[in-house]
Amino acid sequence: MMPGSWTQSWFKAAAAVLAMAAVSVGGSACAMNQPNSGPGCTVDGSELLPAAAGGADSICAAIGEAARSRAPGISFTVEVRVLSASALTAVVRLSDGRTLPEQKMAVSDRQLNPASIERFAAAIAAEIGKAAVR
């Protein structure tokens, strides 16, 4: 085994476990489109996501969880676009009709993973919380 390969394997295994946990805890995107169960969430281009990122359901679950903790009670919809295995954008529309500035995220040194998805979700939730105060 080459030096560092054990570390890389461990991180890949940990990322896969986290992705599976996020999917099982967060529910599905279909459930999130129902009233009072979370944001309406769509993900375009999910086929571009690396397997370790967890898929469209993981993205919607992460956004829903972050919004529940950082912007409770705020109703919104979010449209996520996967641009590549390392870049995402999202457009958020609040229930009052306002559209927030597009959120963008890119990872320059690797592909998207559960940690980068969580950071993206947290940034979206923070913007929703800020907009709710205005």
Question: Residue 93: beta bridge partners?
Answer: 77, 99
Does 26 score more than 50 pLDDT?
Answer: no
What number is the average pLDDT over the span 50-71? 94
2-11, 62-71, 78-87: the lowest-pLDDT one: 2-11
Question: Domain count of the chain?
Answer: 1
Handedness of CA 101, 64, 117, 46 (dihedral sign): negative
Cα(99)–Cα(17) distance, rounded to whole angstroms? 34
Q: What is the mean pLDDT of residues 33-61?
A: 81
**Predicted TM-score of the model (pTM):** 0.70
**Residue 32 pLDDT class (50, 70, 90 cuts):** very low
Q: Which domain holds residue 59?
A: 5-133
Q: What is the pLDDT of residue 27?
A: 37
